Homo-oligomer: A and B are copies of this chain.
């Protein structure tokens, strides 16, 4: 154990993560600011930046810790490759949906944390079992990931919109549609809010699997 040189650290990455968890658990995501976190661990805000690169990385580390706590379920027994992909994607989306700050992480990085990597592993493996080349299997995974990330983002934006009662641009747009140029939308207009509040993730994933994997 070689003695380390330099000023001995007062705080560790673990301290930071623990404190961050505490703050989020007790007061929610929006209470997690760098200043607040610094106070919580007993330092100055900028000291945190020696342990994490920026706030986005902090969130990614939190996500990783969270992922470590999610058990890796066994793929359903006797399931075909297609069903394995669907099951993994659905589990991935569900796990991510539970993370309140997930949107920030999605914006920052397109890949999951180390301990969440079994999702891509499972999806890619199942795709290869179904007959895809490894390259095609990676493509399939990325396509599924893009779809999943987009769906999560959109859902979160919709939820924010619902909380916020200020009148939205969106509403105005849909009120006066040109029925000549946009007949379908005009016809659907009144039902738009209802139609677009349905959960279509599964439907999309199944369509993707049908379209990506070779016909059995």
Where the two chains meet, the residues of A that have a C-beta atom closer than 8 Å to any C-beta of B are 53, 57, 60-61, 103, 106-111, 113-114, 117-118, 120-121, 124-125, 128, 134-135, 137-139, 142-143, 145-151, 153-154, 157-158, 161, 166, 168-170, 173, 177, 181-185, 187-188, 192, 195-196, 198, 200, 203-204, 206-212
Contact = CB atoms under 8 A, between A and B. Distances in A.
A165 B167 CA distance: 41
A184 B121 contact: yes
A90 to B, nearest CB: 14
Given A207-B207, A211-B211, 9 more contacts: A53-B169, A60-B169, A110-B154, A117-B185, A142-B196, A142-B200, A146-B204, A147-B204, A208-B211
B109 A170 contact: yes
A57 B209 CA distance: 36
A167 to B, nearest CB: 8
Contact of A149 (B135, B142, B145, B153): B153
Counted per complex, copies of this chain come to 2
A153 B184 contact: no
Contacts of A135: 195
Contacts of A143: 147, 200, 203-204, 207
A151 to B, nearest CB: 4
A207 to B, nearest CB: 3
B210 A138 contact: no
Nearest to A207: B211
A120 B212 contact: no
Contacts of A203: 139, 143
Given A53-B169, A210-B211, A109 B157 contact: yes
Contact of A182 (B110, B117, B157, B183): B117
A157 B53 contact: no
A138 B168 CA distance: 21
Given A154-B145, A200-B139, A204-B147, A169 B212 contact: no
